[in-house]
Amino acid sequence: MVRHWFKHHGECISRLPDVGGDKPTRARFKRYPIGFFHIDIAEVQTAEGKLFLFVAIDRTSKFAVARLVEKADRRTAWEFLEYLLRVVPYRIHTILTDRAIGTPLVRETVARGIQFAEQPRNRNTITSRQMRFDMICEANGIEHRLTKPNHPWTNGQVERMNRTTREATVKRFHYESHDPLRTHLADFMAAYNLARRLKTLGGLTPYECICKIWTSEPDRFIVDPTHQMPGLNT
């Protein structure tokens, strides 16, 4: 299915921007070992209604994972984290998300960051409780970082991947229902991870980068990635 999709839609993949570091005018990201993921959420639409797109991308390997859900709340956020932990073949050591900004309004699309963290005024109080997202991070030895105030570009890498994914799907095609979009998204993500060669990876695909790191740093891996189907985003 992936090969068939890529044959007919390969132009979309070839035109994908390199989702590597920041713009030249900003300082380059500090280099980290494989396993530093950025996570973001965006709203998408089909004729059937509204969905929310969770996207995660590894800062080092550029391996991306995406999932469509009907709600963007705290539950779907920690469920996406659990899903991410299942499909990534190596250990995740750091996750970066938006910090909580504002409160969700009636009919508002996505209030930034409230799915991942409490607002500053609600943290470290007598009545505050640890969020499930942070509990999962702690149980898996993951450091949960939040974007710095007034520094939205900190999470720009995943925001670009999110935008690119939407441009290759909902902004390019009309979907009568959610199911065709889910199928197209799965094919697109698999093709990206398997076939998209990135300058920031020296011309490797995300999957090839993962396999290369596996040969030199196998201790970072949970399973052998060469035995795992790339782009497990169904």
- Report, as an integer, the average pLDDT of 208-222: 96
Q: How far is CA 48 from its chain centroid?
A: 24
Name the residue ranges covered by the structural domains of the chain. 20-178
DSSP 8-state secondary structure symbol assigned to residue 34: S
36: Cβ–Cβ under 8 A, 6 or more apart, which residues? 58, 59, 60, 92, 93, 94, 95, 96
Q: Model's pTM, two decimal places?
A: 0.80
Domain 20-178: homologous superfamily in CATH: Ribonuclease H-like superfamily/Ribonuclease H (3.30.420.10)
Helix (H) or strand (E) holding 42: strand 36-46
Q: Which of 66, 67, 68, 65 is nearest to 89 (CA)?
A: 65
Give CA–CA dist 36/220, Å, rounded: 12
- Report, as an integer, the average pLDDT of 18-32: 56
- Report, as an integer, the average pLDDT of 206-233: 86
**pLDDT of 44-90, one tens digit each?**
999 999 999 999 999 999 999 999 999 999 999 999 999 999 999 99
Give CA–CA dist 134/116, Å, rounded: 8
Collapsed DSSP state (helix, strand, coil) of residue 58: strand
Contact between residue 98 and residue 155 where contact means Cβ atoms under 8 Å apart: yes
